[in-house]
Amino acid sequence: MLKGFQEFIMRGNVIDLAVAVVIGAAFTAVVNSLVNNVFNPLIGAIFKAESLDGALILSIPTMDGGVAEVKFGAFIGALLTFVIVAAVVYFVFVLPINTMKKHAEERLKRGAAPDVSEPEAETELVLLSQIRDLLVEQRIGGDGVGTNESGGGRHQQS
């Protein structure tokens, strides 16, 4: 059970997801600071308030004599934060990845072979050599010397 959990945790996509969450949390702080310290005061100045949280407030009297406040400015601030985050995610992550995928697909359509790394070629070569050696060993009886199939002569493996 613990081995399966360890394999799950050590997968690349789980680690990538953890990194994304940490980066996302740090990025959220940057966007919140941008909205609260730049956009809120600018928009708040238009509506004569310190920030969007204090702008566009609709006061509604309640049945018990109190006042309920509908804070449209706070909603606009949250909406602005969302739009900024979505724009950055799109332009920094989605657009470059889609562009790279498009270029890779075009390369494949033109007939260019995908990049093959050298370790895979070495692995195939080693595997084929091992298969050859096993077949030779089975044919000659495992002692390194045997008869070949064509004429009964002796064959020495090199």
What is the tens place of the pLDDT at every residue in 121-148? 567 788 888 888 888 888 887 555 544 4
pLDDT at 76: 82
pLDDT at 24: 80
- Please indicate whether residue 17 or residue 107 has the higher confidence score (pLDDT): 107
Tokens 């994304």 found at? 20
Model confidence pTM above 0.75: no
pLDDT at 151: 46
Q: What CATH topology corresponds to 2-114?
A: 1.10.1200
- Please indicate whether residue 130 or residue 10 has the higher confidence score (pLDDT): 130
CA distance 134 to 128: 10
Q: Where are the domains of the chain?
A: 2-114, 115-145
43 and 76 Cβ atoms separated by less than 8 Å: yes
Amino acid at 87: A
34-89 confidence digits (pLDDT tens): 777 887 777 767 766 666 677 777 888 888 988 888 888 888 878 887 887 788 77
pLDDT at 117: 55
With a CB cutoff of 8 Å and minimum separation 6, the contacts of 145 are 154, 155, 156, 157
pLDDT at 16 over 60: yes
Instruction: Tell me which residue of 46, 49, 54, 51 sits closest to 71, measured CA to CA.
Output: 54
- Please indicate whether residue 84 or residue 106 has the higher confidence score (pLDDT): 106
